Amino acid sequence: MMPAGGGAARGEALSTLRGVIHQQATKAGLADLFGQADKEVANLSPWQKANLREMRREYVRASALPQKLVEAMSRAESQSEQAWRQMRPNNDFAGFVPFFREVVRLKREAAQAWSDKLSLAPYDALIDGFEPGARSEKIAPLFARLRRVLPGLIAKVVESQRREQTATGAGPFPVERQRYLGLELMRRIGFNFNHGRLDISTHPFCGGIPSDVRITTRYRMGDYTQSMMSVLHETGHAKYEQNLPADWTSQPVGLARGMSIHESQSLFHEMQVCRSRAFLEFAAPIIAQAFPEAAASVPEAFSPENLFRQLTRVCPSLIRTEADEVTYPCHIVLRFELEKRLIDGSLRPDDVPEAWDAGMREILGLTTRGNDRDGCMQDVHWPAGLIGYFPAYTLGALTAAQLFRAARRALPDVMAQIRRGEFGALDGWLRENVWSQGSFLETRELVERATGEPLGTEAFEQHLERRYLQREA
Amino acid sequence: MMPAGGGAARGEALSTLRGVIHQQATKAGLADLFGQADKEVANLSPWQKANLREMRREYVRASALPQKLVEAMSRAESQSEQAWRQMRPNNDFAGFVPFFREVVRLKREAAQAWSDKLSLAPYDALIDGFEPGARSEKIAPLFARLRRVLPGLIAKVVESQRREQTATGAGPFPVERQRYLGLELMRRIGFNFNHGRLDISTHPFCGGIPSDVRITTRYRMGDYTQSMMSVLHETGHAKYEQNLPADWTSQPVGLARGMSIHESQSLFHEMQVCRSRAFLEFAAPIIAQAFPEAAASVPEAFSPENLFRQLTRVCPSLIRTEADEVTYPCHIVLRFELEKRLIDGSLRPDDVPEAWDAGMREILGLTTRGNDRDGCMQDVHWPAGLIGYFPAYTLGALTAAQLFRAARRALPDVMAQIRRGEFGALDGWLRENVWSQGSFLETRELVERATGEPLGTEAFEQHLERRYLQREA
């Protein structure tokens, strides 16, 4: 929403605020307080202990970096993000790369400082900031498996979908009706409007705090499914935030566990639940009611069967945020491999376009040569300094599949409930196993307790095969 | 925009931030730095000297209050404002008054602390926070004059307007067209869209920073003139912010002078310029173009003459924000008298409804008995702790009239320029005399240099007579 001319001052303000927060988080005297707390640890409840662990995690991370580096990173990241916003439309990687070099240089410096303090590899020290406990040596075999399995699966699915007929419905779909549909679906699946809103932005997001969760979407007049599915995705994030343990609000242990669990909640909703045949049987009449003219002119476009086909089409493409559920992990695997090398120094920022193109050709059979806009410049993450964040998307997809499989085992009737638009039991299961846990458990523990097994690719692969080859669920 | 359930956390966040700002503004060591700066004052440029004066003003005000009081006020004001939002619709003064008592109690404590430090009467110490240099002994005679003159003028105007025929145009006026009209007029009168936006809120406001000025309005389907005039009003505020001296951005001397000068800029635009016959000749075809159906069905509603009548109607009413230019100061005089007594202790918060009703009956001949919602509960200011703010509205109206008279003398052709939609020369005059001055001059000096005389009521009275009795200008 910000006018272009406001960017510089916004950057300064954020940098100042991050500096103030960093000062507070590293205040002299905190080390003594932690020492004292350790002596009294026997008197603490399990939640207090977990809270102390999370406080220490934040303290150790924050105090590993000098204030000057924190402010310099914030400033460089603001500038780089603004440069990216201007230069991406012009496909101008050469203009952007000086800013990007600076971001990578400072991020490597920070990664080294964290690495020294935390005894982690530098790249792991970055991942750990988004997903505490995640390690690249645990991620690598999961991603290697996906890299091995997905290309063959994608080829099969694309081939079989060639024979499917899909109607897309006659637009235009007025923005006001799309908004009404989004609000109605949010309400039906349990978004709390006393503690949140739906607004518009260029890229959908979920932000705010548990008592005021803001989600956004964007509207394309010709295709309502984009806004609808992004609203359902962000509603998954929002329900997690709104249902965090109220007793621990604004304490570290009361916060969401990490980015992969967060993404598991959005994908649980968007992918596991809302693209299922069962959900679409429930949603089809609501969708048709939102667009009465379109539904009258092409009624078959709003049948559950057609909606299912439409919302589960697979097609390799260049843009991650527009990717379908099957090709999406390929985009993440590429980013994971490249950002690891950016941090260990074996890939220079200047050489990213070439490495990107090579990776895309290998993994998805597409080239981005001469098209950096839709290649390595497509995401805001690296320009904004978010290196180590990408793995969480696919860890989240794996987690979502594993959680949903466990929920279906625990609630044998759940698919019938979804078909009737009843989400109480499913929400109860998520509340108990995920939401109410806040950051009490480590990610690994949370997944194992909820699903009975460590995180793997099997539930996700099984899900993809059932949905995309057998065309069930 | 905030959902109701987000209020508590917002209040906590603001209170924390104010605490952090207060800490910075009163840091140990600042007193020494001011002492040192005084020794070097001979080496300072006039602007640096003024900047030092403004820094000291902020420092002295901030350090007069203990941090605990600052945070307690912020918290009490947040709570009181939220209580007011809930209780005003129910006309529930009894429910609201405990919160209000606490706000007044803390505000009196703060006023006393400032009073001791600044050697000002407690109420003056509050006014001084919004309009540096303003004193109630200077304001009182101006307001006494208005209180004497306006009732008779209002009676005459109301009587003479009875014979005027006014067409209001056939609505509804679609929100999108009203928005288009607002944006178009903003563009024509010089709002810089690279550094600002127009949005929607319950009450119109102008906020942000000079490089990112946000103005808002609200839309009523049946009456486009409300959104149009509020947009023009806020654009006056916005142009002031956008044209503050760029060399002194984010320094105290680079900030807007104070609330009365700020209000003079909004009223200069809304009242002096944009309700004039000259401006309406320019604007009439733009307005008609925005509402082609309405203009086709009642063309006379969009004639400059009719627009002038419509936009200069006078009618005593209960609500300040909906008041016309002539009755508006009566609302302010009442608030000035009451808030002075709230602070000196001669009026208890519990007795405000009765005093309000008595004042309204005396000044405007209207009663608010049993209708606190439209009486003493109508404004957010007191609930939010803004005591001492109200006088700036009418000081601003007086200043606007005096500035516009001076501008017309300096630019003999300016009314013809306005008629042609040319605002360059007028903006140049404002830039030189007001905008580019930031806080370099004290308010009194600024007005005297720009207009050649101290602030009085004469230009304002003359303006009202010409516009409302003689029906010129």
Which residue among A3, A195, A199 places its CB closest to the CB of B212? A3
Shortest CA gap B235–chain A (Å): 16
Q: What percent of chain A has pLDDT over 70?
A: 100
Phi/psi for A366 (5° steps) reads -125, 150
The reply to whether residue B211 touches residue A9, judged by beta carbons under 8 angstroms, is yes
| Shortest CA gap B202–chain A (Å) | 16
Straight-line distance from the first to the last Cα atom of chain A, in angstroms, rounded to the nearest whole number: 39
d(CA A17, CA A8): 14
Q: Which residues contact residue A105 at a Cβ distance below 8 angstroms, ignoring those fewer than 6 apart?
A: none
- For residues B411 and B425, what is the distance between their CA atoms, to the nearest angstrom? 8
> Among B27, B199, B201, B211, which would you mutate to test the A interface (most chain A Cβ atoms within 10 Å of its Cβ)?
B211
**Other CB atoms within 10 Å distance of the CB of residue B298:** 14
**C-alpha to C-alpha distance for B229 and B235, rounded to whole angstroms:** 10
Q: Say whether B6 and A211 touch across the interface (CB within 8 A).
A: yes
Describe the crossing of helices B93-118 and B67-87 by its angle, rounded to 10 degrees: 150
A143-154 average pLDDT score: 97
**A209 to chain B, closest Cα gap in Å:** 8
Buried b (16+ CB within 10 A) or exposed e, A167-201: eebeeebbeebbbebbebbbeebbbbeebbbbeee
Other beta carbons less than 10 A from residue A40's beta carbon: 10
Taking the C-alpha atoms of residue B127 and residue B134, their distance in angstroms, rounded to an integer, is: 7
Question: Chain B interface, mutation test: which of A209, A212, A241, most B Cβ atoms within 10 Å?
Answer: A212
What residues pair up with A206 in beta bridges, in sequence order?
A215
Q: What was the pLDDT predicted at A310?
A: 96
pLDDT at A202: 83
In three-state secondary structure terms, A91 is: coil
Dist CA B90 CA B150 (whole Å): 33
Give the residue on B whose Cα is nearest the Cα of A195.
Answer: B5
Kindly list the residues from chain B whose CB atom is less than 8 angstroms away from the CB atom of residue A9: 209, 211-212, 250
Task: Give all strands (DSSP E) within A262-317, no chain letters.
Answer: none
Give the mean pLDDT of B287-294. Answer: 95
- Show residues of chain A in contact with B10, CB under 8 Å: 212
Residues in a beta bridge with B223: B220
A3, B209: Cβ pair inside 8 Å? no
Kindly report the nearest CA distance between residue B247 and chain A, in angstroms.
Answer: 14
State the nearest Cα–Cα gap between A428 and chain B, in angstroms.
Answer: 22
**A4: pLDDT strictly greater than 90:** no
Task: Name every chain B residue with its beta carbon within 8 A of the beta carbon of A196.
Answer: 3
**DSSP, res A203:** S
Say what angle helices A424-433 and A443-451 make with each other, to 10 degrees: 140
Q: How far apart are CA B426 and CA B422, in angstroms?
A: 8
Chain A residues at the B interface, defined by Cβ less than 8 Å, are 1-6, 8-10, 12, 20, 192-197, 199, 208-209, 211-212, 250
Rg over CA atoms, chain B? 23
CA distance B339 to chain A (A): 34
Cα separations in angstroms, A336 against A21, A129, A261, A294, A371:
30, 15, 18, 42, 20
Give B-chain residues touching A238 at CB under 8 angstroms. Answer: none
Residue numbers of B annotated as active site: 234
**Whole-angstrom Cα distance, residue B472 to residue A264?**
68
**Single-letter code of the amino acid located at A320:** R
- State what percent of residues in chain B have pLDDT above 70: 100
Output phi, psi for B136, to 5 deg.
-65, -25
Q: What is the pLDDT of residues B182-230, one digit of tens each?
A: 999 999 999 999 999 999 988 899 999 999 999 999 999 999 999 999 9
Question: How far is residue B210's CA from residue B361's CA, in Å, rounded to a whole number?
Answer: 42
- What are the chain A neighbours of B8 within 8 Å (beta carbons)? 211
Residue of B nearest to A9 (CA): B211
| CA–CA dist A10, A23 (Å, integer) | 20
Q: Which of A234, A241, A325, A339 is catalytic?
A: A234
Q: Which residues contact B434 (CB under 8 A, 6 or more apart)?
A: B240, B257, B261, B264, B265, B403, B446, B450
Is B6 within 8 Å of A195 when comparing Cβ atoms? yes
Mean pLDDT score of chain B: 96
The per-residue pLDDT for B11 is 83
Contact A218, A230 (CB under 8 A): yes
- Domain annotation for chain A: domains and CATH numbers: 4-119 (no CATH), 133-171+231-473 (1.10.1370.30)
User: What residues of chain B lie within 8 A of the CB of A212, using their CB?
Assistant: 2-3, 5-6, 9-10
CB contact under 8 A, B212 and A4: no
Cβ B3–A193 below 8 Å, yes or no?
yes
Most A CBs within 10 A among B16, B175, B212, B244, hence the mutation to make, goes to B212
The pLDDT assigned to A179 comes to 97
Report which DSSP code applies to B467.
I
CB < 8 Å to B12, chain A = 250
Q: Which two structure tokens, joined as six digits, stand for B286?
A: 């733009």
The per-residue pLDDT for B324 is 97
Q: Which residues of A touch B6 (CB under 8 A)?
A: 195, 208-209, 211-212
State how far the Cα of B126 lies from the Cα of A173, in Å rounded to an integer. Answer: 54
**ipTM > 0.95 for the complex:** no
Check whether A168 has a pLDDT greater than 90.
no
Cβ neighbours of A2 in B, within 8 Å: 197, 212
Q: Determine whether the interchain pair B194/A5 forms a contact, defined as Cβ–Cβ distance below 8 Å.
A: yes
Nearest residue to A228 (alpha-carbon basis) of A172, A290, A181: A181
User: What type of residue is A137?
Assistant: E
Residue A9 to residue B212, Cβ atoms within 8 A: yes
Q: What's the pLDDT tens digit per position in B348-406? A: 999 999 999 999 999 999 999 999 999 999 999 999 999 999 999 999 999 999 999 99
Count of C-beta atoms within a 10 Å radius of residue A121: 18
From residue B302, give the alpha-carbon distance in Å to each of B221, B249, B271: 17, 42, 19
The pLDDT-based confidence of B171 (bands split at 50, 70, 90) is confident
- Encode B408-421: b = buried (16+ Cβ within 10 Å), e = exposed: beeeeebbebbbee
Per cent of chain A over pLDDT 90 is 91
Q: Would you list which residues of chain B are within 8 Å, Cβ to Cβ, of chain A?
A: 1-6, 8-10, 12, 20, 192-197, 199, 208-209, 211-212, 250
Does A4 sit within 8 Å of B197, measured CB to CB? Answer: no
Give B345's Cβ-side CA count (13 Å radius): 8
pTM of the predicted model as reported, rounded to 2 decimal places: 0.84
How many Å lie between the alpha carbon of B142 and the closest alpha carbon of chain A? Answer: 40
Tens digit of pLDDT for each residue in B230-267?
999 999 999 999 999 999 998 999 999 999 999 999 99
Q: What are the φ and ψ backbone dihedral angles of A455, each rounded to 5 degrees? A: -65, 130
State the best of A211, A214, A249, A255 to mutate against chain B, taking most chain B CBs within 10 Å.
A211
pLDDT in tens, A410-451: 999 999 999 999 999 999 999 999 999 999 999 999 999 999
